[in-house]
Amino acid sequence: MDDCLFCRISAGTIPSTMVLETEAVVAFRDIAPEAPTHVLVVPRAHHVDVSAVAAASPTLLAEMIDVAQRVADAECGGQFRLVFNVGEMAGQTIPHAHAHVLGGAPMGRVLP
């Protein structure tokens, strides 16, 4: 999609700091990092959110998680928090599926 930021980043027409690429998935640094490692894992194909990825291709979702693990293995001892925001109410600002890989510092608990 020509007007989608993450489609354009995954196609290379908007610059990013890539850390890992596969045929179906890219991983690049978040422009406003909230942890020492803050990498976005994004399918090259346009899906609006992670639930749409899961519905369309469980294999692609599994590859996103494998890429997240590989990023964490390289940068933060294999330990990481994986965040998927789904919908504006949950804080999703880019309507192209992406996982936030957060690591490199102790994480507070999200749930009580």
Binding site residues, ligand AMP, CB under 6 A: 5, 16, 30-32, 40, 85, 91-94
Alpha-carbon distance of 19 to 90, in angstroms, equals 26
Rounded least distance, CB 40 to ligand AMP, Å: 6
Residue 38 annotated as catalytic: no
> In the bound complex, what is the minimum distance in angstroms from residue 64's beta carbon to ligand AMP?
14
* Shortest Å, Cβ 45 to ligand AMP: 17
Question: Quick one: which of 29, 44, 46, 70 contacts Zn ion (CB under 5 A)?
Answer: 46
Cβ burial, residue 67 (10 Å; 0-12/13-18/19+): buried
Site for Zn ion contains 74 (CB under 5 A): no
Other beta carbons within 10 angstroms of residue 103's beta carbon come to 22
Total residues contacting Zn ion by CB under 5 A comes to 6
Rounded-to-integer distance, Cα 89 and Cα 18, Å: 28
Cβ closest to ligand AMP, residue 91 vs residue 106: 91
Return the bridge partners of 28, or none: 18, 40
CA distances from 26 to 6, 23, 59, 108 (A): 10, 8, 15, 27
| Contact residues: Zn ion, CB under 5 A | 1, 4, 6-7, 46, 96
Task: Please give the positions annotated as active site.
Answer: 98
